[in-house]
Amino acid sequence: MASGEMVQISGPNGSGKTSLLRLLSGLMHPTAGQVLLNGQPLNEQRTELARNLLWIGHAAGIKDLLTPEENLSWLCALHQPASHEAIWKALAAVGLRGFEDVPCHTLSAGQQRRVALARLYLDSPPLWILDEPFTALDKQGVAQLEEHLAGHCERGGIVVLTTHHTLSRMPASYRDIDLGKWAV
């Protein structure tokens, strides 16, 4: 993958889309072969990968008892702390103005997804690996996310994602890898 590229991993349920993303993000180790980063085995470059990767899984990955602001503060503290103002700006960007300080368990599924996706609006690494990021989003949220992902690529970032959603906004360097072609 190169700067500015978006790679969509597609295929039927059970074809290995999430497993591939977990391999690429270092969350899972291959049973055969190896994953390379800059020509070197990924398992030898954990620090480099962590510095350059933002992973958002199929589940929102947020704590229900925490507020959106607390969730983002905690998630950002793991790699790149963000200011209170930056977090509130990111939450506003995903349509959560006014919900910054309410417990996430009171939010709808779409709002919880937006809390997770607000990380994409903070100072983030160049490589985004996203597993079904459009889950639970309304039409406006889908369009906004498509635009933001394409914009990230146009600014030199890389996006690898799975989705059953047909993208209407793609960067110039887009390709689809259909795992269904290799499913047994």
For the chain, what are the domain ranges? Answer: 5-9+46-181
The rounded Cα 139 to chain-centroid distance in angstroms is 18
- Determine the pLDDT at residue 78: 77
Is the CATH number 1.20.144.10 carried by domain 5-9+46-181?
no
pTM of the model: 0.93
CB-facing half-sphere around the CA of 59: CA atoms within 13 A:
4
Residue with tokens 């959106």: 68
Q: Which residues in 143-155 are b (16+ Cβ under 10 Å) and which e? A: ebbbebbbebbee
By residue count, the chain amounts to 184
Q: Give tens-digit pLDDT for 90-100.
A: 999 999 999 99
- Determine the pLDDT at residue 124: 84
Checking if the pLDDT of 142 tops 90, the result is yes
Give the pLDDT band (50/70/90) at residue 183: low
Q: Give tens-digit pLDDT for 56-83.
A: 998 889 999 999 999 999 988 877 889 9
Question: pLDDT averaged over the chain?
Answer: 92
Which of 111, 157, 110 is closest to 135 using CA atoms? Answer: 110
Task: State the average pLDDT over residues 10-24.
Answer: 92
